[in-house]
Structure 1
Amino acid sequence: MVDDAGMPYDDMTDTEFEEFCFELMRELGFVNVDWRKGTSLNASPADGGRDIVAERQVEEFDGAVHLERWFVDCKKYTKGVPPDKLTGLLAWATAERANVALVIASGYLSNPCKDFLKTYELNNRPPFRVKHWERPQLSKLLEGRDEFISRYVDARARTEAEIVAAEEYRTNRLWYYRKEVLLHNIEIGQREPLEPHIDRMMREAMRQTERQYADDPDFVIPEGEHEMWNLAYLQGELSALRWVLGDDWNNGDS
C-alpha cells in the first residue's frame, strides 16, 4: 500500500522521476510511450516541454477504437510548480495537435499555476484537454500496484544519504548492544567498574539513544538463543555498508 507521507519517488532526481513517470504510463496501459530525454544530463533541456509522448487506446460505444495522443511534462518540485513552467507543454500540445496535455507533479501545482490553467482553457479553448496529476492522484494510481513499485522503484540504486543513514542506524544498534554487555559484565564481576564520570556519561548517552529509538521495537538486540546470530548479522550489514562508503572490509567499530 502506498503511503502518501512517503511516496516511492521522494528521493529521486529529476531524471529518475521522469523515468518513473515513463514506467508508470506503461504500467497504466499507455502504448507507444516515448521518453524524450535525449541527453545524459540530469535535466532534459531539449524535450520541448514534453518529457513523455504516449498514446492511449480509447474504445467507443460502438466498439471502434482510436488512439489519443498525450504530451506529458514531469515536474519534480519540493514547492508548488509555478505557471511559467507549463508554457512549453501547452505550446507543443497546440502546435502538434495533442489530445491531452498532462502535468505530473511530484508534489502539487501552485495556486497561481492552477489559476493560470483555468484561465488558459477559458480564454484559448484549446483543442486538447489539460490534466494534472498531483501527489494525491499519484498515490491513488499506485494503489494495488505493489509489484510495479517493488519491481521498478525499490530496485533503484540507493542514494548516498540512504546508505549513510542505514550505516548510522546499525552503528548505534551495535554501540548500544556493546554497552549493555559491558554493564552486565560489570554487574556480575567480570569487569572492573568504570570511573564514575565515564560511567555517568555512558549511561546518559544510552538514555539518549533509547529516547531516539523509543518507537523502534527492533532496535535492541533481544537476549536468547538467537542473540549471537542477530549480532553477527548486524555486524555483516555494517561491514557491507561501510565498504560501500569507502571503508575497509570487516570494520566492526562502534
Structure 2
Amino acid sequence: MLLAIDVGNTNVVFALFDGADIRARWRIATDGRRTGDEYATWLLQLLAIEGIERSAVSRIIFASVVPRADHNLTVLATKYFGIEPLIAGQGDAAWDFEIDVEQPNTLGADRALNCIAAHRFWGGDLIVVDFGTATKFEAVDYNGAYKGGIIAPGINLSLDALVGKTAKLPRIAIAAPETESVIGRNTEDQMLIGVFWGYVAMMEGLIGRMKSQIGRPVKVVATGGLAILFDEKTDIFDIVDADLTIRGLQLLADRAGAS
C-alpha cells in the first residue's frame, strides 16, 4: 500500500491507498516541531485501529509546504517503515508538466499536485480552486501546463483578521447563512454575510475574469475543506473533489514507480 502525506500550513493529511482507492485517511494539526517519533506514535496506533499491519505500507510519498516538517517525515518513513520516501517535486517524483510562469521553482507542492490530478482526471482547460489556509486559483491549459494563478487569503484568515483587529466583534463559525438576504439584522448575521457572501462574490468575480482571459471553454474544479460548503450556494464549480491533492500524490508516486 502507498502512504501519501500532504503537509499543509494548517493540517497534515495522511491517506493510505490500496491501488487507486483510499483505504483510510487521517488528519493532524501541522506543527513543524513534531518529531518523527511523535508522528509514529500517532500513526501506528491509527493503523492498528484500522487493522492494518505496518508491513502493509510498501511505499511512502509526501508533499510539504512546511520545510521544517520534511526531515521529521523522512525519519518517520525510514525509522518506522524502513522506506526511503518519495518527496513530491524531487528526484523520481519531480514534476512532469510545464510550469509556465516567471518563477517556476516557487510553485507550492499542493498547487502542483492539484494541477496534475485535475488534468489527469478531467483534461481540457481548467481552473482549479483550493480552499486552504490561503485560497489558490490555478490556470491549467489543455496540455496540462500550469499558466499561473491567484493567491487570496483563506476565509478563516479573513475572519481571524476581522475579529483580531476589532474590540467588540465576536468569534463566529464559518457556515452558510440561513437566508439569501444580504442585509443582516444583528451583528453576527452581518459578519457572516460579509465573510461568506463576500467570499462567494470574490470567487465568482475572479473566476469570471480568469475565464474571460483564457478565452476558451473552461471547467472549474474545487477542492479543500470548504469547497462543499460553497458549492451549495454557487454554481461556479463544475467539479468538487475533496481528495484532489492526495490523489495527485498517488498519481505522482505511481509515475515515479514506473520510471
TM-score (norm 1): 0.29
Larger radius of gyration: 1
- The structure with the greater share of residues assigned to helix is 1
TM-score (norm 2): 0.29
Using CA pairs below 8 Å that are at least 6 residues apart, which structure has the higher relative contact order?
2
